[in-house]
Amino acid sequence: MAKITIDGKEFDVDPKLTVIQAAEQNGIEIPHFCWHSKLSVSGNCRMCLVEVEKMPKLAISCATQVTEGMVVKTQSDRVLQARKAVMEFLLINHPLDCPICDEAGECKLQDYSYKHSIGYSRFDENKVHKPKRVELGPNVMLDVERCIMCSRCIRFSDEIAHQPVLTFTQRGTHVVLTTFPGTKLDNPYAMNVIELCPVGALTSRDFRFRSRVWEMSSTESICIGCSRGCNTYAWVRQNEVLRLTPRLNEGVNSYWMCDAGRLNTFKFVNSKDRLNGPLVRKDNELVEVGWDEAIARVVSELKGFKKSEIAGIGSPFATNEDNYVFQKVMREVLGTKNVDFVSHIQEGDEDDFLIRSDKTPNSTGARIAGVRPGEGGLDVTKIISGIVDGTIKALYVLEDDIAQDPGFAAALENLQLLVVHSPVLNKTAEAADVVLSCSTYAEKNGTFTNFLGHTQRIRPAVATQEQDRARDGFAMSRWDKFASQNDRWGRPIKKDARPSWRILTALANAMGAKLRYASSEDVFKEMSERIGTLRGMTYLRLGSLGQKVTEVEKLTPQAISA
């Protein structure tokens, strides 16, 4: 270890670190634009200049390695004057269009203008004008006038995404960020440059001009696009999810997430096809009814079947808590051993970075929760065969559009009873006798376990009619408090949807069981007491980053239940 002094305080640090890394590890912020802990050092913004004793000039802290006895000053007069000079230089040709910039409220240049700038410009000449509204690719828009040439996006494309298509052209004040001729920024991780960009030069074509950051609430959540389970923030305005951004978790996804997860995993939450209450089939049509009537219909119908004639399909899209209560109701209340879930594997759609071929967030968690055939029970393939030959007459489906599976699509017509949990009217729901409108992942508390065995929390970002905001710790933006009660289609903003574990608890109790779950945390507490791989876990211990349960290769049925 090397002993160094930063602003009068002594620290023991790894001698392999640079000054900015050593400062960051010890809670000292050195302003910077171009430096990023996951990218190579470029040292071209000069914002991180510090004074090092016995060095004749100010040093860039991002490229200066610590040495034994080094004395660093980050707040000396020389350093403060240098920062002001750098800020004045960067703002000379900047358009200063914060009122219409998507980055406003999240912009390093904006923040540093308040903290480190002189507050005015001595430059009174005409500014250099550069290209605006440049489509770098299908998802990223560029405004070159706002670019401060930090090169973060170039280094990300080269080093992380391995698609070296970005470069600088021209020289001096006329430098322009652009793609190589005939290329586009269209790799699967291209939108990460939006967060990397410290200014408003790179923006999302999907989110562009939809909201200001201070009008939204941000809630810690998990991407449901694949079994990686990237950590995210869900950004909500007027009870509508507007965007997802990656959240730092070095054990899962670091700073990154893929474009597909960012764009395709939340829009169904806002869909005009969302159910606004349970549906029951009457005269061959699905009719909206109250919860009591829907649950009574399910109970009365299920009582007419033998245990062996009932099967349950759990869901790798549902939480651990939902799957646990589901399999418990199937086995202990309905008495069936025919419990399994459908895999959603897309062979070939995987890489060695983040994207996985398993396109569900919780297949590992579903197995841990007990969604697998009991001794003598039927798996998915045999359940389909049982439906076809008439030995399985009633099917209960949890949060999965199984009609997308060719095997199930043809078999569902043979059922006498099909009960489905779904937030939208999908193909499986359209074929159902009873549809119970369940909450989406953005509307409930719970946990997912990714393919590495990492168990992580999801939290409600969007409210439903059933939710008690104080109980669920629901986060509201200032805008939400004054928002209208209807969405863009004139439908109620708060949907009449409930978490699947709560629906199943009500159903079980209507059949004479005595389940006493008041919250998802109660369910998880029971799971951690009864399931070996979750033993000792609590929501509090999982925190923001989650906890790894075990090595994934050890997640056998025997190890899970041990």
Strand positions, DSSP E, 393-490: 394-398, 417-422, 434-437, 446-449, 454-458
Q: Is the per-residue pLDDT at 502 higher than 80?
A: yes
Low-confidence winner among 118-127, 217-226, 262-271, 510-519 (lowest mean pLDDT):
118-127
Portion of the chain with pLDDT greater than 70, in percent = 93
Which residues lie across from 280 on neighbouring strands? 287, 434
Instruction: Please state, rounded to an integer, the average pLDDT across all residues of the chain.
Output: 92
| pLDDT, position 492 | 58
| Structure tokens, 185 | 């920024």
What does the pLDDT look like over 56-81, one tens digit per residue?
A: 999 999 999 999 999 999 999 999 99
Q: What is the rounded distance in angstroms from the CA atom of residue 374 to the CA atom of residue 339?
A: 7
Length reported for the chain? 562
Q: For helices 500-510 and 320-328, what crossing angle results, to 10°?
A: 20
Q: What is the rounded distance in angstroms from the CA atom of residue 401 to the CA atom of residue 318?
A: 12
| pLDDT, position 123 | 85
Q: Is the per-residue pLDDT at 488 higher than 90?
A: no
Q: Is residue 88 within 8 Å of residue 121, measured between CB atoms?
A: yes
Q: What is the rounded distance in angstroms from the CA atom of residue 257 to the CA atom of residue 361?
A: 14
- For CA atoms 271, 272, 277, 281, the dihedral sign is negative
| Structure tokens, 389 | 């030959």
Q: How far is CA 544 from CA 266, 317, 456, 472, 547, in A?
A: 20, 20, 8, 16, 9
Q: Is the per-residue pLDDT at 561 higher than 50?
A: no
| Structure tokens, 472 | 């669920």
The single-letter code of the amino acid at 489 is W
| pLDDT, position 268 | 95
Which residues lie across from 123 on neighbouring strands? none
Q: What is the rounded distance in angstroms from the CA atom of residue 558 to the CA atom of residue 121?
A: 70
DSSP 3-state of 286: strand
Q: What is the rounded distance in angstroms from the CA atom of residue 272 to the CA atom of residue 428?
A: 18
List, in order of start, the domains of the chain with CATH numbers: 2-91 (3.10.20.740), 279-561 (3.40.50.740)
C-beta neighbour count of 561 within 10 angstroms: 13
| Structure tokens, 417 | 């009873």
| pLDDT, position 118 | 86
Q: Is the per-residue pLDDT at 483 higher than 60?
A: no
Q: Is the per-residue pLDDT at 481 higher than 60?
A: no
* Residue whose entry in the numeric block shows the structure tokens 């399909």: 313
Question: How far separated are the first and last CA of the chain, in Å rounded?
Answer: 43
Highest mean pLDDT among 230-244, 402-416, 471-485: 230-244
What does the pLDDT look like over 342-401, one tens digit per residue?
A: 999 999 999 999 999 999 999 999 999 999 998 889 999 999 999 999 999 999 999 999
| pLDDT, position 486 | 65
Q: Is the per-residue pLDDT at 529 higher than 70?
A: yes
